[in-house]
A and B are shown apart, each in its own frame.
Chain A
Amino acid sequence: MTDILLIALAMSLLYISIANRLYTYISILVLQGILLFGITYLTLTHVNTLNLVLIMLETIVFKAISVPWFLNYLIKRNGITRETEPYLPNFISLIIVTLIFVITIIISNSIKDKNIDKTYFVVALSTLFTGLYLIVSRKKIITHVIGYLIIENGVFILSLAVGNEMPMLVNLGIMLDIFASVLILGVFFNKIEDVLKDPDVNLLRNLKD
């Protein structure tokens, strides 16, 4: 069952690589939050109940509800156009994300360690690299934030892989989410999109030598 959820999450990455609208990105974030909720429940079987409830609440409330809602609100409020504006065509993105999958599978098969479940490892790493790829290949600041959130989801899966022995590390992952919320709030309060009129990273290129 865990494997099904993990693979579903991996498939959502393929979808995000060809998605054209910001709202699709947000729906995928919601989907990933819900999947992570299920994965957490199925994986962390040795953690005490209170901690488990805390972590699961965090995944559902934070990852699946509040952050996507807030991003949605930001897009409406700042009048951000709905195109994601990739630098590369979607077809090439799809190939690159597929390549990321293949490479992580090859990497994880080369690791000879019985302690780690390979599915977790592959999905976590490919989520991470896909997030990085999204950041470098999309133009808008808000897609950078979404890319960071996807990286975070990947890291969360990785932390679940060791979560039973060290639940503290999963709790630390929650702190990362707090960090992300600060990033998003930064966009909101500082009104990057307002100040810049056009939410495009090209305008943030004045600081140089």
Chain B
Amino acid sequence: MIGFFLFGTLVISAALFFNRNKWVNYALIVFYIALLWYFGVYEFLHLNGSDLSFFKFDSLGFLLYISLCIVSIPVFFHSYRYLESHNTTETPRTRGLFFAAMTILISACGVAYSANHIAVIWIFTEITTLSASVLIYHHRNIRALEGVWKYVFICAISITFVYIGILFLSLSVKQAGINDLSFDNLYANAGRLNPFWLKLAFLFIFTGFTVKLGLIPMYTAGIDAKDKAPAPAGALLSSIVINLGFVGVYRVYAIISHSTLIHWANIIIITSSVLSIFVAAIYMTRIKNIKRMFAYSSIEHMGLVMLGIAAGGIGIYAAILHIILHTFVKSALFLQYNQIYWVYQSKSIYDVGHYFKYNMAGAIVILLGFISTTAMPPSGLFVSEFLIFQSLFEAHFIGLMIIVLILLTLILWGFGSNIFKLLFTPPIQIDESRLPRISPWESLSQYILLALTVFIAYNPPSIFVTLIQNAVKII
């Protein structure tokens, strides 16, 4: 089935690339979404089954895949809106290239979630970098060039790090007398692996995947990429690509958790995530670019997710819940961003204001998105963040918790002051005669995404809870 799915993706993306007709393009995308969902249903029916000997449809892979399916529909819709109304320089060729790259990016992420072999995740990570670079360089100006060059270069270095990590992992496996690098095998034999090489392997693989996950030390490339990519592509980069990094780190951490090195690994993860939250707090308080602010907010959330993983217990459950909810919230914010740009023609916080007056429906999305991202009570993220702090408390990381809470307050202040400036204070200068008319329907998908987070956080379907619990069992 995975073979069929990948083949279908390749055919569709090739057709998108060569096709010049708009309506055929629409049809192909609809067809692709149908393929995505079909594969999702297949995965659900064959849960815990394996495919092509390198893939296994476990709960974590399935959960992230379904959130990918849900996010991809509005992303495609807004991509069309973006290409049609935003840019006068769009040609059928650039449009075809954009969608071809996007389908490959989505499929590569979706397949990598279910990979049962570290090398397979690695290969698909490489593919996501290549396809994402096409999306980032969509505008073909010098800023986009800078963004894409940094992204590709830092990803290249990181992917080399992951590769070195895999080599060290193979050294540690060699000592245990096994020859198979599949995750199931590694979990089963984790106690016999050579700890020294396993440590090095974890260090390198973790560092490598932070470029996708958005943590210290490699987070920088992702920020520029999300800033320069068209907003729908930015939505993908800050949701499904982040999840890909999470899957990579989570599965390798699961190997460690079966060995004696778990405390050592926790120290690494905690250091990295607290530093990430710290960096996010510093930048969020002084940032003036709305899109980059959203990107830094992802860094903060990933820091929290990894803290939950390191704290253990309920924290792991909360971390998986958090990353799924974050997928919806952050993509909603990025998808909403284009409307702000249409109104003000600027991404600087200095040029915006009185957004309620110009675009009521959009302003409410921004307000709700702000409440969701900062995890204030009606938001779904509140539940997961609360559980993460509870797990930190239970793990006796009190001092750490206080530091993180202070940093979160700073972030709330920075984020809030910018968002309220956007929504309520008057803009410095704006030409009201040439404001675009934005239909409220364009914000509908964001409302649905935000409502979905509230729903699955406060009233989770029992199957959803079981799936997360199964995903936690790997550790």
Contact = CB atoms under 8 A, between A and B. Distances in A.
**Dominant SS at the A interface?**
helix
Interface residues on B, range: 35 or more
A154 to B, nearest CB: 9
B90 interface: no
A200 to B, nearest CB: 13
A3 interface: no
B330 interface: no
A168 interface: yes
B452 to A, nearest CB: 31
Interface string B381-399: 0000000000000000000
A134 interface: no
Contacts of A173: 163
B174 A175 contact: no
A148 B227 contact: no
Interface string A74-115: 000000000000000000000000000000000000010101
B464 to A, nearest CB: 36
A159 to B, nearest CB: 6
Contacts of B142: 195-196, 206
Contact of A207 (B156, B167, B224, B286): B224
Contact of B167 (A115, A162, A195, A206): A162
**Dominant SS at the B interface?**
helix
Contacts of A113: 171, 175, 194, 196-197
Contact of A144 (B122, B153, B175, B288): B153
A78 to B, nearest CB: 14
A148 B164 CA distance: 14
A192 interface: yes
A165 B179 contact: yes
Contacts of B156: 148, 179-180, 183
A207 B143 contact: yes
B160 interface: yes
A132 to B, nearest CB: 8
A128 B283 CA distance: 32
B77 interface: no
A149 B289 CA distance: 35
A48 interface: no
A186 B152 contact: yes
Contacts of A183: 152-153, 156
Contact of B175 (A115, A155, A206): A115
Contact of A209 (B164, B167, B286): B286
A193 B211 CA distance: 26
B196 A176 contact: no
A190 B147 CA distance: 13
A158 B150 CA distance: 26
B34 interface: no
A192 B175 CA distance: 46
10 contacts: A113-B194, A165-B179, A166-B179, A172-B119, A179-B130, A182-B130, A206-B142, A207-B227, A207-B228, A209-B287
